[in-house]
Structure 1
Amino acid sequence: MKIPFIRQSTIDYWNECRTHGLSLFDFIHGYVYSRWCFHYIGLAGDRGPWWRWLWAPLVFIIDKHSPFHPTEDNRTGDPNQKKPTWGDQYHGKPLPLEEATKLIRLDRPVNTELPEQVLPYTRCRDIVLNGNPRLVLLDCPCRAGMKNPCTPTEVCVLVGDPFAGFMLEHHPDKTREITREEALRIIRQEQARGHVSHAFFKDIALGRFYAICNCCSCCCGAMKAQRHGMNMLCSSGYLAEVDPDKCVKCGTCAEKCQFKAIGFNKESAFIREDRCMGCGVCTLSCSKDALRLRLAPEKGAPILVDEL
């Protein structure tokens, strides 16, 4: 039914929220998050009003004390499970290049109930890519919030409706529809610059994967929050490791690493495992093939598109 003064993408999002059992509060939160994303997300940057500095402590307070976070024992009956945190409801998972490009290439319907060991988050259970999903390129709200942002700024790839359509309709000057080939090119170019591809999830995004953002630690709000103890990112499930026989200590990998996870000793580079998120950027930068990724179960399970 057409409702005057309300855009079709808003109606589509409301219908999806009802189908997935989200509350009116969730719908309003999602609408504000998407409709005014350059204000909502851009507050983490260094441009804008003075009160943007309230952003970080406000997020921390919400993370610890929000009455809108249901307790795990209310949802599952298990009183031993902890209350969900901000990172459980909105978070990104770094992706190596191969897996990031597979998400874009996927051309068959996927509607899988993901077990906890694949994505260990209470609100993140479904990855839904219906057939040939719509791809929309968005100007990065984090970079838009910076006085001197990294470039290019068109680096956020939205995957699938209703989110792609919503953003295209509400931000026509900040978005454009793209092909899979262009999306893949953007991801490859960003990782070559040393930027990290994140698969982003959010509770109000129907609890599913909805975007691949290509992030730098100087602009990205989630990466800044991570540095200050708010777990908005989780490991890819991999760790980088060095072959000391091949390493020539050129330093390129350390310059590219957004997580400051690479150091040097007398023999070669080494990985600070507590910092490494397994993004794989260092492996792409090494001309000597001295770095590779290995599975690291202690860091969590990776997104393996072939197994979904």
Structure 2
Amino acid sequence: MPLLKPSTLRYLKEAAKIPRYPLLERLHGYIYLRWPYTYIGLGVGTHPMRRLLAPLAALATRLYPTGPDDGTDPERISWADSYHGKALPLDEARRLVTVRRDIEIRNLEKIIPYKRARDLVLRHPERIVALECPCRSARENPCLPLDVCLIVGEPFASFVLEHHPDKSRRISPEEAVAILEQEDRRGHVHHAFFKEALLGRFYAICNCCSCCCGAMQAQRNGIPMLCSSGYVAELDGETCVSCGLCAKRCQFHALTFEGGVTRLDPALCMGCGVCVNACPKGALSLRRDAARGEPLEIEALLAHAEPGAA
């Protein structure tokens, strides 16, 4: 019986191709993929081993400070720089799981505004695995269903499938689209996640709710793990009938409904588009906001990277 599973060997070989990729990051990535429920459970504060492993958490905090970067230290790397998500409107999330071709676009600093982990590299993107969400699984009364984390491409999809056969399943791009659409109807936000320890690149689309998602809760506590889609919602007061449905769906509390009036706070909006799709009257829309960075638009990125591409 081999000491390492085939998917582990493929992951390590992929990591070995990256120049000067630290051994500690390779180990970190392996631990994250191999034991995601323990890893995330420790992060969200519900795992029974949290107290026992507190010294390791303290070490991680020293390596990657959790507070926001104030810009005074150009060498400072925060926790958010090593692990973060980009909000995606539903259409862009659909395109990302149906691209069906290998992609290598590096250093997307205007789209992924962090110092590290901002490469969009897809190997065999048609290989997608639906994984039971570690954040939801860590909760006593989680949102359902659980299998809404979409692991996209290799070597990640095979690793997750081989190491977590009871909590994951291979799905087609069409099935991935169906999960995205169902989660959108539930009011959950699509985030493209990037992690330094996972080869410094995109690896998954998570469908997040503010009650379960560790990244969304970290965001509320001042750790900027999530960035805007590059869009902001706009509310047409003349079309709005103040039904309050959008406020119930908004995971970022940018929309409120009080005294029969719907209000939008653009400063809190992440441009996910959940409210737009939920509004029965079409009173909400998304507009580009240059101050929030550029959107992750896969077709535009491909056309720019390959002149003449369709």
TM-score (norm 2): 0.88
- Aligned to 1:9, which of 7, 10, 20? 7
CA distance in 2 between partners of 1:216 and 1:238 (Å): 19
User: Matches of 1:293 and 1:90 in 2, distance apart?
Assistant: 26
Give the superposed CA RMSD.
2.7
| 1:224 Cα deviation from its structure 2 partner | 0.8
Q: Which runs of 5+ in 2 are unaligned?
A: 67-71, 302-310
Match of 1:183 in 2: 176
Q: For residues 217-256 of structure 1, what are the structure 2 equivalents within 5 Å?
A: 217-256=210-249
Instruction: Note closer, same or farther for the CA distance 1:300–1:177 as it changes in structure 2 (3 Å cut).
Output: same
Residue pair 1:244, 1:267 contacting (<8 A) in 2 also: no
Greater mean deviation of Cα atoms: 108-117 or 228-237: 108-117
Q: Could you say which residue in structure 2 is the equivalent of 1:144?
A: 137
Query: Contact 1:217 / 1:258 at 8 angstroms: preserved in 2?
Result: yes
Aligned: 1:37 with 2:36 = yes
Aligned counterparts of 1:54 and 1:230: Cα–Cα separation in 2: 21
* Among 63, 67, 85, the residue aligned to 1:66: 63
1:20 is the counterpart of 2:13: no
Distance 1:52 1:272, change over 3 A: farther
Q: Identify if the C-alpha distance between structure 1 residues 43 and 62 changes in structure 2 by more than 3 Å, giving closer, same or farther.
A: closer
Kindly tell me: are residues 219 and 53 of structure 1, through their superposed partners in 2, closer, same or farther at Cα, counting changes over 3 Å?
farther
Contact 1:194 1:256 in 2 (8 A): yes
Q: Residue 127 and residue 50 in structure 1: after superposition, are their counterparts in 2 closer, same or farther (change >3 A)?
A: closer
Show the counterpart of 1:101.
Answer: 94
Q: Report the more deviating stretch, 128-137 or 178-187.
A: 128-137
1:130 maps to 123
Identity, in percent, stands at 49
Deviation at 1:200, TM superposition (A): 0.3
Q: Work out whether 1:203 is the aligned partner of 2:202.
A: no
Letter aligned with residue 220 of structure 2: R
Task: Give the partner amino acid of 1:206.
Answer: L
Q: Which amino acid aligns with 1:220?
A: C
- The aligned counterpart of 1:48 is 47
Per-residue CA distance 1:135-183 (angstroms, 9 max, x = gap): 0110000011011000000100000111111111111111110011110
Q: 1:119 to 1:48 in 2, by over 3 A?
A: closer
Shift of 1:68: 10
Per-residue CA deviation, residues 105-140 of structure 1 (Å, 9 max, x unaligned), is 112332122442122222233212235531011000
- Taking the TM superposition and a 5 Å limit, the aligned residue runs for 1:212-291 are 212-264=205-257, 269-291=262-284
Q: What is the one-letter code of the residue matched to 2:63?
A: S
Inter-partner Cα distance in structure 1 for 2:90 and 2:154? 24
> What is the count of residue pairs matched by the alignment?
297
For residues 145 and 37 of structure 1, what CA distance do their matches in structure 2 show? 10
Q: Please name the residue that 1:118 is paired with.
A: 111
The worse-fitting range, judged by mean Cα deviation, of 197-206 and 19-28 is 19-28
Secondary structure of 1:230 counterpart? coil
Does the residue aligned with 1:239 lie in a helix, a strand or coil? Answer: strand
* Structure 1 Cα separation of the partners of residues 125 and 53 of structure 2: 41
Which shows bigger deviation, 287-296 or 270-279? 270-279
- Mark the runs of 5 or more structure 1 residues left unpaired by the alignment: 70-78
1:247–1:180: structure 2 CA closer, same or farther, 3 Å change rule? same
For the residue of structure 2 that corresponds to 1:39, the secondary structure is helix
Q: Distance in 2 between matches of 1:143 and 1:265?
A: 30
TM superposition shift of 1:300? 1.8
Amino acid at match of 1:6: L
Shift in CA distance, 52/270, structure 1 to aligned 2, threshold 3 Å: farther
Q: 1:84 to 1:172 in 2, by over 3 A?
A: same
